Amino acid sequence: MLSTERLCATAFAFMVVAVLAFSSMQGRAQAALLLEEPYGFFGSVNPTGHNAIYFERICAETPVKLRRCKAGELGAVIARYQGMKGYDWMAIPLVPYLYSVEDVSAVPARASRETVYQLRNRYHETYLLGLGADMPSGGFTHGGWTELLGASYERRIYAFRFKTTEKQDDEFIALMNDGPNLSHFHLFYNNCSDFARILLNFYFPGTFNRSVFPDAGVTTPDQLTYKLEKYARKHPETQLTVFEIPQIPGSRRHSRSNKGIAQSFSTTGYVIPIALLNPYLAGGLFADYLVRGRHHIIPKSPQMLAPDNLFALTAAGRSAENPVSAGAQVPSAAAGGSSGTKTTAEANSGLTENKVAHEQILSAEFQKSRPD
């Protein structure tokens, strides 16, 4: 029979292990690079698609101000779009970003164009009017607020989830809130993938550089995702996991697979006029595609995420939290840009010299407008 001292020592040991495990779980966080397929006529002309980044523990106080998430909130998606009234980036809660609703039980099994239009307008009128009534809705040539809502009605999305830390997220929130949020969008040198590349470099400094080959120095969603997947193979501590978020069936045709610049020119009708005008250029593009542009980044059977199991995208230990109404993060939007007020998370995060290094990285990356 164990003595009282041994029983106490055993109980204390179990308690220490439990506390350490709980602390480790609380210190973990997740983010995911979203690879979004091209769709519609523009997707046929430019089949590169779109990149955004989802953060599990970062939520939207407004579309232009970030904060730490509260219990039960599923995080936010941050992305760069053109035509956002001068803003460089916007943050939208995960559920509205995917489905234009706050409550996942309201996601339709099928969605007509009229249904999507109504859902988007309802959310916009409730949460996004603070950005200004003159905020464009978007169209064929220009982006607008409709691109922030209901992405899953338009296209299939793959989420490449990787591990972050709460400290990193707190520093990221502080830097994004304190920094300028002014648009300098450029389709070739400051596009959505360049923005995602900059954010990834905050978490993995110096890893995601612009490449001349493939794609002639243009950062594309396919290329950036391949670099993350390649990095994760060499660094298993990244814990990269791939999920598929299917397109909601309806009147919209199925989205297409992502292609890089070289692949687009080499495997579509573009190759014919290019070969006629300059066969050497056509041959170079094809060689670039064969040597550097063929990426196999989607696993055969990624885990499927339906509206009712989005919690699988979040960190381990949070799956029991209720995802319903997780989209109601944005009470109003700040029309004047990012707030200079520091958040409680920043005040308590104990920022170290890493903040200075990361701030320099972000500042340098945001100022780049041409390939290295």
Amino acid at 77: V
Per residue in 202-220, pLDDT (tens digit) is: 999 999 988 777 767 789 9
Split at pLDDT 50, 70, 90, the class of 356 is very low
Q: Please give the Cα distance from 292 to 288 (Å, whole number).
A: 6
Q: What is the pLDDT of residue 320?
A: 39
Q: What is the pLDDT of residue 31?
A: 96
Reference 159, options 56, 48, 40, 262; nearest CA is: 56
Q: Which residue has the higher pLDDT, 279 or 349?
A: 279
Query: How deeply is 225 buried, as exposed, middle or buried, from its count of CB atoms within 10 A (0-12, 13-18, 19+)?
Result: buried
Task: Examine residue 8 and state whether it is found in any structural domain, yes or no.
Answer: no
SS3 335: coil
Per residue in 279-293, pLDDT (tens digit) is: 655 556 556 555 555
Residue linked to tokens 């670039």:
288
> What pairs with residue 78 in β-bridges?
53, 91
Q: Which residue has the higher pLDDT, 318 or 102?
A: 102
Name residues whose C-beta falls within 8 Å of residue 119's C-beta, 6 or more positions apart in sequence: 99, 100, 101, 111, 149, 150
Q: Please give the Cα distance from 132 to 128 (Å, whole number).
A: 8
Task: Examine residue 145 and state whether it is found in any structural domain, yes or no.
Answer: yes
Please check whether residue 38 is in contact with residue 258, taking contact to mean a CB–CB distance below 8 angstroms: yes
Residues 304-332 have a mean pLDDT of 65
Helical axes 221-234 vs 192-203, angle rounded to 10°: 20
Task: Examine residue 276 and state whether it is found in any structural domain, yes or no.
Answer: no
For the chain, what is the domain count? 1
Task: Examine residue 324 and state whether it is found in any structural domain, yes or no.
Answer: yes
Q: Which two tokens stand for residue 222?
A: 């396919």
How many Cα atoms within 13 Å fall on the side-chain side of residue 127? 26
pLDDT at 183 over 70: yes
Q: Please give the Cα distance from 64 to 135 (Å, whole number).
A: 14
Please give the model's pTM, rounded to 2 decimal places.
0.77
Split at pLDDT 50, 70, 90, the class of 182 is very high
C-alpha torsion 191→194→199→201, nearest 10 = -170
Task: Examine residue 372 and state whether it is found in any structural domain, yes or no.
Answer: no
For the chain, give the percent of residues with pLDDT over 70.
Answer: 65
Q: What is the pLDDT of residue 327?
A: 57
Name residues whose C-beta falls within 8 Å of residue 146's C-beta, 6 or more positions apart in sequence: 120, 137, 138
Task: Examine residue 4 and state whether it is found in any structural domain, yes or no.
Answer: no
pLDDT at 301 over 90: no
Q: DSSP letters of 187-201? A: TTTBSHHHHHHHHHH
User: What is the greatest pairwise CA distance in the chain?
Assistant: 90
> What pairs with residue 267 in β-bridges?
none
CA atoms 308, 93, 366, 358: torsion sign: negative
- Peptide bond before residue 371 is cis, with ω within 30 degrees of 0: no
Domain that holds residue 72: 23-210+219-259+298-367
Per residue in 79-137, pLDDT (tens digit) is: 998 888 889 999 999 999 999 999 999 999 999 999 999 999 999 999 998 888 788 88
Residues 335-362 have a mean pLDDT of 42
pLDDT at 315 over 60: no
Q: Please give the Cα distance from 328 to 96 (Å, whole number).
A: 8
Task: Examine residue 159 and state whether it is found in any structural domain, yes or no.
Answer: yes
Q: DSSP letters of 145-169? A: GGGGS-GGGT--EEEEEEEEEHHHH
pLDDT at 361 over 60: no
Task: Examine residue 269 and state whether it is found in any structural domain, yes or no.
Answer: no
- What's the full length of the chain, in residues? 372
Helix (H) or strand (E) segment spanning residue 223:
helix 221-234
